[in-house]
Amino acid sequence: MCNDGLITTATNLKRNSRYLHVITWGCQMNVYDSNRMMDLLRPLGYHVTEDAGIADILILNTCHIRDKATEKVFSELGRLKQIKDARAQEGQSTLIAVAGCVAQAEGEEVLRRAPFVDIVLGPQTYHRLPEMIAKMHRKNGQLIDTDFPVESKFDYLPAPEQTNGYTAFLTIQEGCDKFCSFCVVPYTRGAEESRPVNSIIAEAKQLCELGIKEITLLGQNVNAYHGEGPDGKSWNLAQLAEKLSTIPGLIRIRYTTSHPRDMNDSLIAAHRDLPTLMPFLHLPVQSGSDRVLQAMNRGHTADDYRHLIDKLRKARPDIALSSDFIVGHPGETAEDFKETMRLVNDITFAQAYSFKYSPRSGTVAAVSVRQVAESEKDARLQELQAVLKLQQETFNRQTLGREIPVLFTHKGRKSGQIAGRSPYLQAIHIDGPDNLIGFEASIKVNELLTHSLSGTLIKEQRTS
Ligand code: 5AD
Ligand code: SF4
């Protein structure tokens, strides 16, 4: 077999070195996907660059969940076209690839309206990126791959080789079969699929060998996880988390995003029993009105949610709760909105995200004739966000004076500062030595700032 092509001298390598620039919009899973695309292209000689102007490949990883997603993509593509044109004048070629959920939902439209785009690929086909790039180098034209392939991309992705520090995302489950009335995810990410336990453990071990201390397990319905275990049986998220806890060096585990219907007793017990499982839970409720929850096809009531939270707080009294809310879902009345406010006041959240309902084509709610006026959505959002902001401040104030373990991950903004996160996901900085970065140490919280807390180091005890 002739493998001349594989023999590369150092000079050759330099001459051949090419650059890749990735723009990531949207959720944490898109961040994970972008990192994996970089992992795929590094072995082909592509260096990741922050400078779009020198990139041979520009990837725009898009999000379709809310807002004017498609218009935003075309406006960004206009900017990328200018870069491509400028480079072409200097005799350099540039490939533009559009990935992610807009690519999945509107791929043909992207190719039609932006003929300078070379590649369109969906969230389930990005493992084919090297092959698509090779094809593009051989011929002109445009390529689109938005299949839901039979093979799983996870079987084709290389092991991660680089990390950005001490925390990492790891996708364990993808897609959704729940079909909430407002949501595009079941259409863009496809059917629910869980990765096998062994492949997750292998990736987690690899990450920890690279120095990662905290892993956030990702999935659109992460707590519906039901991957095949090493014993051939189906494992749930609690079992997976317990197994992950045995990996040397891994001191913190988080997971997102969960659905109330899948918050089972074993996972609640894991919050009580597993010290590595952080006391933070993002559990979207969307609305506090049973009528709206039903219209949303959420499959639970507001009281079901209240009971779940009671159980969680019994298991782990200090658990910090986070949620997502949508105001102005079609048919939501002022009374319904009051029910949402009542639920928020009953539960009290440590943090939360709230959005105005935005119609997504192809979803059930988008075609409803009972759309809520924009001005009404604005007013409700303002009212809700004011209360959520107060609750967040109250939660943070409760940590004042407390001793809290912080995983330090980077330098602070001012010199001499280091920063990281509390178990409750609060951003915290202290005046402290750089050699604590990458370690967990206890601090005393002594000041509440707008977007973070500050504290003082208690003692230089490295717990990891
Ligand atoms: N309009 C507004 N918000 C939405 N979300 C999902 N789809 C829509 C939509 N069409 C919100 C939900 C979800 C979060 C990720 O985004 O609250 O939990
Ligand atoms: Fe979308 Fe989550 Fe509902 Fe699935 S469960 S349809 S991802 S909001």
The Cα angle at residue 287 between residues 282 and 293, in degrees rounded to 5? 110
- What is the fold of 3-145? Rossmann fold (3.40.50)
pLDDT in tens, 402-423: 999 999 999 999 999 999 999 9
* Per-residue pLDDT at 179 exceeds 60: yes
Q: Name 340's Cβ contacts closer than 8 Å, sequence gap at least 6.
A: 287, 288, 289, 292, 325, 327, 384
Pick the ligand that lies closest to the CA of residue 180.
2
Asked whether the beta carbons of 181 and 296 are under 8 A apart, the reply is yes
State the pLDDT at residue 161. 78
**Ligand 1 lined by 368 (C-beta under 6 Å):** no
Asked whether the beta carbons of 268 and 315 are under 8 A apart, the reply is yes
Percent of the chain scoring above 70 in pLDDT: 95
CATH code for residues 403-457: 2.40.50.140
Residue 366 CA: which ligand 1 atom is closest? 10
Percent of the chain scoring above 90 in pLDDT: 85
User: Band of the pLDDT at 162, cuts 50, 70, 90?
Assistant: confident
Beta pairing class for 280-282 and 320-327: parallel
Average pLDDT over residues 13-25: 79
Residue nearest to atom 5 of ligand 2 (CA): 178
Asked whether the beta carbons of 321 and 309 are under 8 A apart, the reply is yes
Residue 358 CA: which ligand 1 atom is closest? 1
Supply the DSSP string of 373-386, one letter for each residue: PHHHHHHHHHHHHH
CA atoms within 13 A of residue 201's CA, in its CB half-sphere: 19
Phi, psi values for residue 5, rounded to 5°: -60, -20
Residue nearest to atom 1 of ligand 2 (CA): 183
Beta pairing class for 440-448 and 403-411: antiparallel
pLDDT in tens, 326-382: 999 999 999 999 999 999 999 999 999 999 999 998 999 999 999 999 999 999 999
pLDDT in tens, 61-118: 999 998 788 889 999 999 999 999 999 999 999 999 999 999 999 999 999 999 999 9
- Coil, helix or strand at residue 107: helix
pLDDT in tens, 437-464: 999 999 999 999 988 999 999 965 555 5
Pick the CATH number of 159-278 from 3.40.50.980, 3.40.50.1000, 3.30.750.210, 3.40.50.300: 3.30.750.210
CATH 3.60.21.10 given to domain 284-398: no
Arithmetic mean of pLDDT over the chain: 92
User: Band of the pLDDT at 241, cuts 50, 70, 90?
Assistant: very high
List 417's β-bridge partners, or say none. Answer: 431
State the pLDDT at residue 163. 75
* Per-residue pLDDT at 11 exceeds 60: no
The residue that leads in pLDDT, 258 or 138, is 258
List 280's β-bridge partners, or say none. Answer: 320
Residue nearest to atom 3 of ligand 2 (CA): 180
What are the boundaries of each domain within the chain?
3-145, 159-278, 284-398, 403-457
State the pLDDT at residue 136. 85
**Ligand 1 lined by 65 (C-beta under 6 Å):** yes
